[in-house]
Structure 1
Amino acid sequence: MSDLETRIESLEVRAAYQDQVIEDLNQTVIAQWKLIDSLRRQFNELLDRVQEVEDNAVGSPASEPPPPHY
């Protein structure tokens, strides 16, 4: 093989390797976004539950009658 053919083959191998690395990185990003979306949904559900608990909680201490020993 000539020097030119060797260089072309080397470049083709590099390009193939880079394509695989790019695809691997893309799959990693996709998996991370799925995880982020799942965590975001869980966080919003927790916020809703906390808000619901706060809304159902007894009023503020100022609105409660004083204890009998006052």
Structure 2
Amino acid sequence: MFFIFGFGSKQHDLGAGQTRTCARCGNTTVWNRIRTAKQFTLFFIPLARWGREELEVCSICGNAVAV
């Protein structure tokens, strides 16, 4: 079976974020900043993106906070 379209989410790494103390694990580290978006593709070419948001993610436990 061959699919020519698809739905999914895309993450783009934006680099280092702020130094924060995580509410879940309690460690103080530099968090990673990422941008996420849902997308519709046709033949692996993105045609539409929606639901964009920027997050900072704890580098130890993976807890995410919206920026």
Answer yes or no: same fold by TM over 0.5: no
**Larger radius of gyration between Structure 1 and Structure 2:** 1
More strand by share: 2
Higher helix share: 1
Q: Per chain length, whose mean CA-contact separation is higher, i.e. which structure has more relative contact order (CA < 8 Å, sep 6+)?
A: 2
Per the normalisation by structure 2, the TM-score is: 0.19
